[in-house]
Structure 1
Amino acid sequence: MAPATAPAAPKQNPGNHFEDFRLGQVLRHATPRTLGAGDQALYTALYGSRFAPQSSDVFARDIGLPRAPLDDLLVFHVVFGKTVPDISLNAVANLGYAAGRFGAPVYPGDTLSAESEVIGLKENSNGKTGVVYVRTSGVNQDGALVADYIRWVMVRKKDPAAPAPPAVVPELPDAVGAEHFIIPGGLDLTAFDFTAAGSPHRWDDYAVGERIDHGDAMTIEEAEHQMATRLYQNTARVHFNQHAEGQGRFGRRIVYGGHIISLTRALSFNGLGNAVKLLAINAGTHAAPSFAGDTIYAWSEVLEKLPVEGRPDLGILRLRSVAAKDQPCDGFPFKDADGKYDPAVVLDLDYSVLVPR
């Protein structure tokens, strides 16, 4: 008689559930990704972003870069997408971001990879889900940092009876300190061409507390948000599987939150056209889900102005951009007296940018 053999382990990746995570666990994510000019072209087609350094090799060279870098948020989303099979395949929702930085510019031909460390765990009171906090770092083929950030995500438990780990919630900074900003080597905005950039506004033209209604709006199409999410190799089921999601809480596929961030950034060109380089994502909240058919409006507030020592050619603006669905932003009170978001608000993002002086 042949000896009994253990059943073969399943070959498909079921993703991690909340009880699979451990504090201090390091996850090296699969599938390094070489990015090309085609990725930038598709990104532009999806969002219509018009920022000059990412659009023109000539403009980029005139400000000290070797050629047009890829869009900072394209880089962020690709790094994020690497993490999904390990962190958020079984997620209910991606909840927020903190302490995000952008590092070395990424150019066509660069290869990105990512790893994450679990820095916090907290089971929810329903016993069916928990919140996982991770710090993710993305690097290029030379090991240079291109982006890092903290995010927290609500993940389903596979077994509601599984014991919960001790709750650990990391302390998160309100904003990235100026000493941690990474300004690309060689960048020089002295000869910045405001006409070619499409905006006359310098760092000095903005005032703390100023609120800018970006005016324009974009309607989310089902095919576009799924195409965008595939571009980032983000495999989260909630964005694609209508057969399953049709039976879920919302009855339809949820738009990847990063898609809203990129739409908001593209809309912000009208009023912030010279915010040419993202330095940090200080904090971010996906206040409500978005779906195909929603029309996204956005406005931004200047939270802070920071000069850069020894750099008379540029300054830093800390911005808060709020996106709402089917709700123009002019005069819109996005929070009530108790600090709760209006149901129309889908994104509240605090970030820092470089602007010519």
Structure 2
Amino acid sequence: MTKASEGNFFEDFSPGMSISHAVPRTVTTGDVAMYSALYGMRFAVQSSDAFAQSCGLPRAPLDNLLLFHVIFGKTVPDVSLNAVANLGYAECRFLTPAWPGDSFHARSEVIGVRENSNGSTGIVYVRSTGYNQHGDAVLSFVRWVMVNKRDKTSPAPQTVIPELASHVPAGELAMPEALDFSRYDPVLAGSPYCFDDYEIGEKINHIDGMTIEEAESQIATRLYQNTAKGHFDAVLQRSSRFGRRIVYGGHVMNLARSLSFNGLANGAFVVAINGGRHVNPAAAGDTVYCWSEVLGKQPVAGRTDVGALRVRTVATKDKPCASFPDPATDDSGSVLLDLDYWVLMPRHCGEDRGESQ
């Protein structure tokens, strides 16, 4: 009997199955520095203790996408070790701030399965929740992933497809405790544009591009302890549908978030991901660009200092975004990511504007 695990295949999953994921993880300031080095993140609240303290927080919190990928990485050995591709996300809520020095573990529940028509793969839907060392839920999300079957002749399970919300309602967004944007400094943050300056339907070309390097994408994926074979095993992937290793979709997500600073620098916190999908795979050598559209705006009840902006960000490969390429109409295969999410922003940029409201 072998003591090594091959991971779960499609036929191992069934709705209602509960999975406790191994290896709790303490995230340190060293991990934060590595994350910043890999993506060039520049959002001020997460970059500076002093800036975070001016916004009422005790110190700079972990970037919420770093938290997301750490929790995601916990789930990979049990959910997607034998995946063909991670396909999408929904109902992602960041429930409470996370801080350097916190330790995290995760649990998942299978909420749906559907075998594909080819009989060799299927889609598995899971809801995963991350917890800190105190047992507090810090993050919850749904994802669906295409997983290989162990035995193509095994019978197809009964199809169960979960009903998922189209978006996280603005009224359910979790506000970081003690957050206060009344003294927010837009000059230090890097942009004069705040919540009241954005219009629904407005599109922003983030202009800059960033090329994916093989080494960086693999270091990043290891940072999250993500063990998915598709990102690491070049020998195995030669016979895959892609013929080579593919880049973890979360790496593209982080690059797009970093690039979006040019136009959304005051989008201080990602507080929810309404939905997202990896439209096409990325590989080393691809250059990522992105554009964003404002889908909605919601002032926070009882607050004059903060608002929630709903944003859609589309990332492309090797195709600058001046023409705002859309997954629905672009047939070139250049669109990598289509992500719908909420960010918190200060309502007003500048003390005089705040007092005039």
**Length-normalised TM-score, structure 1:** 0.96
Amino acid at match of 2:25: R
Corresponding residue for residue 346 of structure 1: 336
Deviations 1:195-241 (A, max 9, x none): 11111111000000000000101000000000000000000000001
Runs of 4 or more consecutive aligned structure 1 residues displaced over 2 Å after TM superposition: 332-336, 339-342
Q: Return the alpha-carbon distance in structure 1 between the equivalents of residues 307 and 74 of structure 2.
A: 32
Alpha-carbon contact 1:334-1:341 (below 8 Å) kept: no
Alpha-carbon contact 1:123-1:167 (below 8 Å) kept: yes
Q: Match of 1:270, SS? A: helix
Counting only pairs closer than 5 Å after superposition, residues 273-312 of structure 1 correspond to structure 2 as: 273-312=265-304
Alpha-carbon contact 2:279-2:327 (below 8 Å) kept: no
Deviations 1:161-209 (A, max 9, x none): 1112110000111100123211111000000011111111110000000
Q: Does 2:107 correspond to 1:115? A: yes
Deviations 1:246-271 (A, max 9, x none): 22221211000000000000000000
Q: Match of 2:100, SS? A: coil
Q: Return the alpha-carbon distance in structure 2 between the equivalents of residues 19 and 292 of structure 1.
A: 32
Q: Return the alpha-carbon distance in structure 1 between the equivalents of residues 254 and 327 of structure 2.
A: 22
Corresponding residue for residue 202 of structure 2: 210
Corresponding residue for residue 30 of structure 2: 38
Corresponding residue for residue 5 of structure 1: none
**Length-normalised TM-score, structure 2:** 0.96
- Identity within the alignment, %: 59
Alpha-carbon contact 2:75-2:108 (below 8 Å) kept: yes
RMSD: 1.0
Alpha-carbon contact 1:219-1:295 (below 8 Å) kept: yes
Q: Return the alpha-carbon distance in structure 1 between the equivalents of residues 331 and 64 of structure 2.
A: 28
What is the number of residues matched between the two proteins? Answer: 347
Unaligned runs of 5+ in 2: 348-357
Deviations 1:295-317 (A, max 9, x none): 00000000000111101000010
Q: Return the alpha-carbon distance in structure 2 between the equivalents of residues 213 and 319 of structure 1.
A: 13
Q: Does 2:144 correspond to 1:152? A: yes
Corresponding residue for residue 245 of structure 2: 253
Corresponding residue for residue 13 of structure 1: 5
Alpha-carbon contact 1:335-1:342 (below 8 Å) kept: no
Q: Return the alpha-carbon distance in structure 1 between the equivalents of residues 325 and 281 of structure 2.
A: 19
Q: Report the Cα offset of residue 143 of structure 1.
A: 1.4
Alpha-carbon contact 1:319-1:352 (below 8 Å) kept: yes
Q: Match of 1:215, SS? A: coil
Corresponding residue for residue 94 of structure 1: 86
Alpha-carbon contact 1:202-1:356 (below 8 Å) kept: yes
Q: Report the Cα offset of residue 333 of structure 1.
A: 3.4
Corresponding residue for residue 98 of structure 2: 106
Amino acid at match of 2:18: V
